[in-house]
Amino acid sequence: MNPFEDMRLFCQVMESGSFTAAAEQLGLSKQFVSRRLIQLEDRLGVRLLNRSTRRLDVTPLGQSYYESALRLLGEVEQVEQGIAGQNSEPRGTIRLSAPLSFAIAHLGCLLPLFLQRYPQVTVEVDLSDRPVDLIGEGYDLVLRIGTLEDSTLIARRIASIARVYCASPDYLALRGTPQKPEDLTDHDCLPYGHGRQVQWRFKGKVQALNVSGRMRVNNGDLLRDTAIAGLGVTYLPTFIVGDALQDGRLVTVLNEFAPEALTLSAVYPQHRQSSRPVQALVEFLRERLASGC
């Protein structure tokens, strides 16, 4: 095997979590995969993986090698795509991570249309609200909502995400409608997150307020349903509460204090900047979300 094949083998083991799973996916024997990685470690003179009977643990040098290997393999892929011709149809696999609620609201209708447009592209989707490690976990593209940390990653704006404060008509009839942010201290709030104190932001004199309530959860759909049941005021993106607002199960409050919309960004590593499948998906999402999906 050449060094690039060893890199691909090691990356497959990292992503699969075991020699057995990697061997199955590659159509090789477990013994062959294990032997090749031992030879790779011998050639490098370092330990990449700590092996036990139950699990594999990557060493710090192994993690560094994995991240570098992903970048190099990505560059090789781009070179091959360039040689194949820029006028050819995008082809290949995109490993995509996206927020759960957003994906349910939009990607369920958009990804099938994308795959119909580009029949030689495959998409592997992981839905998670946690901040994934794009490089370390081997993603080609991540959709993120909100402010992004400074990094070497590339971010492109996809769409704006408006958020509203809202509650059920029954809750407001019982507890009254808040007229200003400070009024929320006398209300039950349904914040997103697991901290004891969650901060909601506003326009105007009071720009931030710590809120708490009887229920905290890191999923907007569950918060929406809890608000519909009349248990408090919540603060969520319109793609989660839009239908409930339209049919009257929820009504907005504090509209004049709502802060600016969040940004939905497509984030990818530099070595995916010229990836035709990644760029095709980014442009497709920008196009469809701009037109209201």
Report how far residue 98's alpha carbon sits from residue 106's, in angstroms, rounded to the nearest whole number.
11
Tell me what percent of the residues of the chain surpass a pLDDT of 90: 38
200 has which bridge partners?
Answer: 209
Q: Which range has the worst mean pLDDT, 2-6, 116-120, 158-162, 218-222?
A: 2-6
Query: What tokens does 56 get?
Result: 């594999």
SS3 11: helix
Predicted confidence at residue 183, as pLDDT, reads 93
Predicted confidence at residue 67, as pLDDT, reads 87
> Burial code of 182-209, b = ≥16 C-beta within 10 A, e = fewer?
eebeebbbbbbeeeeebebebeeeeeeb
Of the candidates 254, 203, 200, 206, the one whose C-alpha atom is nearest the C-alpha of residue 223 is 200
Report how far residue 213's alpha carbon sits from residue 150's, in angstroms, rounded to the nearest whole number.
32
> pLDDT band at residue 81, thresholds of 50, 70 and 90?
low
Question: Is residue 154 scored above 90 in pLDDT?
Answer: no
Considering the entire predicted model, what is its pTM? 0.66
- pLDDT of 82-118, one tens digit each? 665 555 688 888 999 999 889 998 998 899 999 999 9
> pLDDT band at residue 173, thresholds of 50, 70 and 90?
very high
- pLDDT of 42-59, one tens digit each? 989 999 998 876 678 889
Predicted confidence at residue 212, as pLDDT, reads 81
Domains of the chain (ranges plus CATH)?
3-83 (1.10.10.10), 90-159+264-290 (3.40.190.10), 163-260 (3.40.190.290)
Q: What is the mean pLDDT of the chain?
A: 86
